Amino acid sequence: MPINLTEEDNGRILDVKVSGKLAHEDFKLFIQRFDQLVGQHGRIRILCDLVSFDGWEASAMWDEIKWDVRHFSNIARLAVVGAKTWEEQLSLFCGPFTTAEIRYFDQTRAAEARTWLEGRLSGQRTDPVERILS
């Protein structure tokens, strides 16, 4: 399955691992789980692991665009872990579509992404999207 969803911190964090090419049915599972968690907790945090991600099928990309607009303010923090330049650019592109703090982490810093997501890193937010690479 191209998408694996794991809840952490009693559902306040959604760990999303995406591999291969994301299809409409996969994204539909994500939307259902996300909506349920937001209904229970309000704004949540997302750890999005794109290390083995190869993109979207057209229908899934459209699903994501509609979802981004609808959930503009439902994400508190979004940590994106990736291995490719386009994944970093994707995290920068998301900035204007959300009120979330967004940070991109190279795959070698995945543990740091989790720590930041959980709010244990010191330091102030300086940019809407911050780039953290090794």
pLDDT at res. 131: 44
pLDDT band at 69 (very low <50, low <70, confident <90, very high): low
pLDDT at res. 97: 53
If DSSP codes are grouped into helix, strand and coil, which group holds residue 114?
Answer: helix
Summarize the confidence of residues 95-114 as an average pLDDT.
80
pLDDT at res. 127: 44
Which one is predicted more confidently, 11 or 92?
A: 11
pLDDT at res. 111: 92
Residue length of the chain: 134
CA dist 100 to 2, 19, 59, 83, 134, Å?
A: 25, 24, 25, 22, 23
77 with 46: CB under 8 angstroms? yes
pLDDT higher than 50, residue 126: no
- Rounded to whole angstroms, the Cα distance separating 108 from 100 reads 23
| Domain 3-132: homologous superfamily in CATH | STAS domain (3.30.750.24)
| Domain range annotation of the chain | 3-132
Q: Which of 37-51, 55-69, 106-120 has the lowest mean pLDDT?
A: 55-69
